Amino acid sequence: MDSLRIEGGVPLKGEIVVSGAKNAALPLIAAGLVTDGTLRLRNVPDLVDTGSMEVLLRNHGMDVGRTGDMLVIGGSATNFDAPYDLVRKMRASILVLGPLLARYGQARVSLPGGCAIGTRPVDLHIRAMQAFGAIVELADGYIQARAPGGLTGARVVFPMVSVGATENAMIAATLAKGTSEIVNAAREPEISDLAECLIAMGARITGHGTDTITIEGVDSLGDATHDVIPDRIEAGTFAIAAAITGGELTLQNARARHLDSLFEVLRRCGITIDENDDGIRVAANGGIGSADITTDPFPGFPTDLQAQFMALMCLADGSSRISETVFENRFMHVPELMRMGADIQVDGGIAMVRGKPSLTPAPVMATDLRASVSLVLAALATEGTSEVSRIYHLDRGYSDLEAKLGQCGARMHRV
Ligand code: UD1
């Protein structure tokens, strides 16, 4: 099994081009199922997860081709089963439910199964499809859904904010008869990106980016060409890499307005962030101040940057209270950071981090995507050699991580 050997202590300096967003690309690829036409997606990151979504669409009978960072999705689905073997690899596979039901009136999707960061149910996805008139049964570990006469527009009120359920509901509603309203919708930039792509196909959607999305159903959707937005979580991770190593990085192709909550906190920690023609420059100024954060749906602090920020706070001048409200059990990086000498106490969804001047190198183990990269960041900031094992998680969400950080001075290689 691959691991990363990292010789830390080098301030990272240079420029990094941010890739297309994984979490935007996954629902966009799934949306290829809802159109009669051809969907051309540009700036699609080449990741294990996007590859898994391509395989899933091919399994449904779609034609999917990749040239560089462009994916072309066409044809029609002939198989409506998303099997456990594919779905268990990636929870976002649930995103085929809405498009298959809306366009073909049937879908059989495996329940995603356990995930390391909490129970993560899919009840909100199912409830939305039922609101649109689908008949849904759970049997043999599968969601079996039918809508023989097509879906009907409805008002869907989510009791909590869910990115994936909002995406599934929005895609399904594009072909439902009549008007739909999604209330308490997620406002993540990835939702707006999906809405823009669906609109380019001919969907009638307003209110995306707010907590109420209105969709007027249409009879069919057509061709579209769409550019995937830059990955705000990758950009945020690199911003923290600059801060934690005492370096300076310019992030090309990143959108500052997608990272307001992180940048506000980093500035409070004494990090300089400015936007110029080359991109967003993030520079440390000697010493890291401490700050408290609470994760929340967008525009709040992203849960997907919580682990990376915690690594930074392990080296801050002072204490930090990190409150995780989006997922239960998203502190698996804590024991690993403590193996490197970090001082962290967890009580339920709250972690108290007491910053230290330095950490010590240690062998550590990656547990999920963002936890893994937080360990890489901690290792980059630590004098000596650390080894991060089980890094296959990293390949699910970061393209060319070693090359991108390596060109900025990081000494890391796969063993
Ligand atoms: C997406 C992101 C993930 C990110 C998360 C929160 C993708 C592919 N993944 O995941 O990186 O961490 O948003 O920003 O975009 N929930 C339910 N019932 C449901 C659905 C969700 O209770 O039917 C709960 C979850 O357990 C969690 C919370 O809602 O506690 C938010 O989850 P959700 O926004 O749905 O996350 P994902 O879409 O899975």
Could you report the per-residue pLDDT of 22-58, keeping only the tens digit for each?
A: 999 999 999 999 999 999 999 999 999 999 999 999 9
Tens of pLDDT along 259-307? 999 999 999 999 999 998 889 999 999 999 999 999 999 999 999 999 9
Domain count of the chain? 2
What are the strands of the beta sheet with 411-414, ordered from one edge? 363-365, 384-389, 3-8, 411-414
Residue 190 CA: nearest ligand 1 atom is 15
pLDDT band at 253 (very low <50, low <70, confident <90, very high): very high
Query: Ligand 1 pocket, 26 CB below 6 A?
Result: yes
Atom of ligand 1 nearest to the CA of 167: 38
Q: Are 220 and 240 members of one domain?
A: no
Domain end call among 227, 255, 288? 227
- What's the pLDDT score for residue 160? 96
* 52 and 97 inside one domain: yes
Q: How far apart are CA 196 and CA 177, in angstroms?
A: 20
Q: How confident is the model at residue 367 (pLDDT cuts 50, 70, 90)?
A: confident
| Same domain, residue pair 271 and 358 | yes
Segment (H or E) for 72? strand 70-74
Q: Looking at the predicted structure, is the pLDDT value of residue 334 above 70?
A: yes
The verdict on 281 and 182 lying in the same domain is: no
Give the tens place of pLDDT for each residue, 391-408.
888 989 999 999 999 999
The pLDDT of residue 1 is 74
* Residue 202 and residue 246 in one domain: no
301-324 pLDDT tens trace: 999 999 999 999 999 999 999 999
Q: Are residues 44 and 15 in the same domain?
A: no
Average pLDDT over residues 330-355: 97
Average pLDDT over every residue of 231-260: 97
Check pocket membership of 298 for ligand 1, CB cut-off 6 A: no
- Residue from 326, 328, 370, 374 whose mutation best tests the ligand 1 pocket (most atoms within 8 A of CB): 326
Q: Which of 227, 253, 269 is the last residue of a domain?
A: 227
- Residue 6 is classified by DSSP as E
Q: Which of 227, 247, 274 is the last residue of a domain?
A: 227
Do 82 and 148 sit in the same domain of this protein? yes
Residue with token string 């792509």 = 197
How far apart are alpha carbons 36 and 57 in whole angstroms?
14
In this structure, the answer to whether residues 194 and 294 fall within a common structural domain is no
pLDDT exceeds 70 at position 113? no
Contact 84, 141 (CB under 8 A): yes
Same domain, 236 and 178: no
pLDDT at 86 over 60: yes
Instruction: For 181, list phi and psi in degrees, rounded to 5.
Output: -135, 130
Q: Is the same domain home to 163 and 284?
A: no
pLDDT recorded at residue 118? 52
Which of 162, 194, 304, when mutated, tests ligand 1's pocket best, judged by the most ligand atoms within 8 Å of its CB? Answer: 162
Between CA 147 and CA 132 the distance in angstroms is: 9
Domain interval for residue 213: 22-227
Separation between Cα atoms, residue 174 and residue 102, nearest integer Å: 8
Annotated catalytic, 115?
A: yes
| Nearest CA-CA partner of 171 in 104, 233, 73 | 104
Q: Taking residues 148-170, what's their average pLDDT?
A: 97
Distance between CA atoms of residues 243 and 12, nearest Å: 9
Choice among 146-155, 215-224, 243-252, 274-283 with the minimum mean pLDDT: 274-283
Looking at this protein, which amino acid is placed at residue 204?
R
Domain containing residue 317: CATH number = 3.65.10.10
Do 294 and 406 lie in one domain? The reply is yes
Q: What percent of the chain has pLDDT over 90?
A: 91
**Does the C-beta of 164 come closer than 6 Å to ligand 1?**
yes
Residues whose CB falls within 8 Å of the CB of residue 348, separated by 6 or more in sequence, listed in order: none
Which range of 1-5, 88-92, 301-305 scores highest in mean pLDDT? It is 301-305
Nearest CA to ligand 1 atom 12: 304
Tell me 126's DSSP state: H
pLDDT score recorded for residue 119: 57
Token pair for residue 152? Answer: 């009907």
Chain centre distance of CA 388: 21
Q: Is the dihedral of CA 404, 407, 412, 413 positive or negative?
A: positive
In short, whether 162's Cβ falls inside 6 Å of ligand 1 is yes
Answer yes or no: is the C-beta of 303 below 6 A from any ligand 1 atom: yes
Tell me the C-alpha distance between 82 and 59, whole Å.
8
Strand 212-216: give its sheet, edge to edge. 155-157, 179-183, 212-216, 204-206
Report the chain's mean pLDDT, rounded to a whole number: 95
Tell me the average pLDDT across 89-96: 94
Cβ proximity of 46 and 69 under 8 Å: yes
Residue 213 shares a structural domain with residue 244: no
How remote is the CA of residue 14 from the centroid of ligand 1, in Å? 34
- pLDDT value of residue 115: 47
